[in-house]
Amino acid sequence: MTADVLDVLMFAVACIVLLSGFPVAFTLAGVALLFALIGIALGIFDFGFLGALPSRIFGTMTNETLIAVPLFVFMGTMLERSKVAEELLESMGQLFGSIRGGLGYSVSIVGALLAASTGIVGATVVTMGLLSLPTMLRRGYDIPLATGSIAAAGTLGQIIPPSIVLVLLGDVLSNAYQQAQTSQGLFVLETMSVGDLFAGALIPGFMLVGLYIAYQIFRAAVHPASSPAMPADETLNRRELYKKTIRALVPPVLLILSVLGSILGGIATPTEAAGVGAIGSLLLAGYRQAGAKRAIILAAASLIGVLILTSIVDLRVTRTEIGAGERVAIGIAGLLSLGIAWGVVVSCLRLFGSGILSDVVQSTTRTSSMVFVILIGAALFSLVFRGLGGDETVQEFLLHDPDSWATWAFGPLAPVVIVMAVMFILGFFLDFIEITFVVVPIVAPILLVMGFDPIWLGVMMAINLQTSFLTPPFGFALFYLRGVAPDEVRTAQIYRGVIPFVFIQILALIIIARYPAIATWLPEVIFG
C-alpha cells in the first residue's frame, strides 16, 4: 500500500514542480532521486534499479534513430532562416485571396507545407502571425477565426512527418513494443520503426488539414462577414501569380519529396533521410544568398541524382560481389557526391559570412541538448517509478472493473480512452516532451500487451500531443501568437479562436479510433 501511494505521489510531485517552471530534466531526475531515497528508507525500493541507469544512458548515446533529432532540428531552423515561409504565405495568400475565406485556406495549406519541411511549431506560428494575421485583420476577418486558424495550422508540424514528436514518440513506442512482446514470452519479436510511424501519420495529418479547411469553408458560408474575400484588383495577373507560386512551392516540395520519399520508398532510414533534409535545407538557404548559384544548383541536382540512383541500384561497397554495372553506378554516385560536397562548401561559406550558419548551429545545439538531457532525466524517473511498483498501479487502473462505466461506454477501447483523456488533461499543463518521456513509457507497454496496434496508438498519441500546443493556459502556440499579435488582439480572443480547432482534433481522434485503417493502411502497403 505504501508503494502504491509513493508512486502516485511521485508523479503528482513531478507535475507540481514542472508547473513551477523548474527545468524539466532536473525536475524529473531530482524527484526520482528524492523518492528513491524515501523508498530505500522505508525498505520498499531496491537500489539495484538505479544500477540500470548507465546502460540506459549508453543506449541513448548509441541509438541511431535519435541522431535524426538534431538533423531535423537543423533542417527546420535553416529553412525558417531562409524565408521559405514568407514566400509561401505571400504567394498562397494572393492565389486564394479572391475567394471568400481564401486567406484562411492559404494559412492551413502553408501550415501543412511548413510542417512537412520545418516541423518547428514556434517558428511557423511566429512567421504566420507576423505575415498573415495583420493582413487578415486588415481585410476584416473575424479575430478569433484568424488567430485560431494560424495557431492550429502552426501545430501541424507535430503530426505531419518528418516531425520531432514522431521521432521521439516512435523511439519510445518501439522500446515499449519490444518490452510488451518480451513480457508475453515471445522470442521472435516484431519491430516498429520511426518510418512506420511516419507513414501512419501521413494520412491523418492531411485529414486534419482537410478538417481545418472544411471548418473555414463552413464559417465562410454561414457567416460571410467573418472571412471576406480580397478585392480582385489587388491580386496579381494570373500568369504572373502562377509563376510566383511555382517558384515559392518547388524548392520546399522537392525537399519534402526527397526526405519523405526516401523514407517511404525504403531508400533510407529516418536518420539517413534527416541527413538528406539537413543538406537540402543548407543548399536551399545558400541559394537564397547573393552570388553565383551554379555550384548549389549542381549540388541539388546531384543530391536528387544520388537518391534516384540509390532507388534502382545497390550502391553498398562492402559487398563481396559487385557487378560491372554496379561498379559504374558506384563511380557515378561518387562523382555526384563530390558535386554535393562542393555545393555544401559554397553554401556554408555564404551562410557563415552572413551569420546565419552560426545562429542555426547554436539554436540546433541548444534544442538538441535540451531534448537529450530530458531523455536522461526521464530514464531515471521511469526506473524509480517502476521500482516503486508504478507499472502494477497503472495496470490495475487500466484493467479496471469490467462492469465499470468506461467499459460500458467504450467497450474494448476503454483503456485507450482513459489514457487519451489523461494525456489530454496533462496537455493543459505539461509540454509534449514531458508527456512523451514520462507518461508514454509507463502506459504504452500495458496497452500494447492488450493487443492494440502500435502504429495506430502512436498516431492517436501524436494528435493528442499536438492538442497540448493549443490548450490554455500553457499552450505554446498561444504564447507564440500572443507575442507577435497586434495590440488590438486580446488574449481572450486567441483562446476563444482555438476552441473550435481543439474540438476538430478531438473529432479526428474519434474518427481514427473508429477507423484504424486511416493510420495503419499506408504502413501496410509500403512496408508490409
Question: In three state form, how does the secondary structure of 205-247 look?
Answer: HHHHHHHHHHHHHHHHHHCHHHCCCCCHHHCCCHHHHHHHHHH
pLDDT confidence tier of residue 122, bands split at 50, 70 and 90:
low
Q: Which candidate, 17, 83, 16, places its Cα nearest to that of 354?
A: 83
- 469, 150 Cβ separation under 8 angstroms: no
13-31 pLDDT, tens digit each: 887 887 776 777 788 888 8
Distance CA 141, CA 134 (A): 10
pLDDT confidence tier of residue 97, bands split at 50, 70 and 90:
low
Q: Give the pLDDT mean for 481-491.
A: 82
- What region does 401 belong to: left with phi over 0, alpha with psi -120 to 50, or beta? beta
Q: What is the pLDDT of residue 138?
A: 82
Give the chain's mean pLDDT.
Answer: 82
- Give per-residue burial for 253-290: e unless 16+ CB within 10 Å, then b: ebbbebbbbbbbeebbbbbbbbbbbbbbbbbbbbbbbe
pLDDT confidence tier of residue 521, bands split at 50, 70 and 90:
very high
372-402 pLDDT, tens digit each: 888 888 888 888 887 887 767 776 666 665 5
Q: What is the pLDDT of residue 218?
A: 92
Q: Which residue has the higher pLDDT, 438 or 210?
A: 210
> What is the number of other CB atoms lying within 10 angstroms of the CB of residue 501?
22
Of 40-44, 64-68, 85-89, 335-339, highest mean pLDDT: 335-339
> What is the number of other CB atoms lying within 10 angstroms of the CB of residue 525?
10
Q: Give the pLDDT mean for 306-327.
A: 82
In Å, what is the CA distance from 51 to each residue of 38, 56, 61, 375, 462? 17, 10, 17, 17, 32
pLDDT > 80? residue 274: yes
Q: Which of 41-50, 209-218, 385-394, 508-517 has the lowest mean pLDDT?
A: 385-394
Distance CA 226, CA 215 (A): 12
144-187 pLDDT, tens digit each: 898 999 889 888 888 888 788 888 888 888 888 888 888 777 66
Q: What is the pLDDT of residue 509?
A: 93
Q: Which residue has the higher pLDDT, 90 or 221?
A: 221
Q: What is the pLDDT of residue 516?
A: 92
408-440 pLDDT, tens digit each: 556 678 888 888 888 888 887 777 777 888 788
pTM > 0.75: yes or no: yes
Q: What is the pLDDT of residue 81?
A: 77
Q: pLDDT above 90 covers what percent of the chain?
A: 10
Q: Which candidate, 110, 212, 108, 205, places its Cα nearest to that of 163?
A: 205
Cis omega before residue 402 (within 30°)? no
Q: Which residue has the higher pLDDT, 201 or 136?
A: 201
Cell numbers found for residue 296: 548549389
pLDDT confidence tier of residue 260, bands split at 50, 70 and 90:
confident
User: Could you tell me the end-to-end alpha-carbon distance of the chain, in angstroms, rounded to an integer?
Assistant: 46
pLDDT confidence tier of residue 203, bands split at 50, 70 and 90:
very high
Q: What is the pLDDT of residue 519?
A: 92
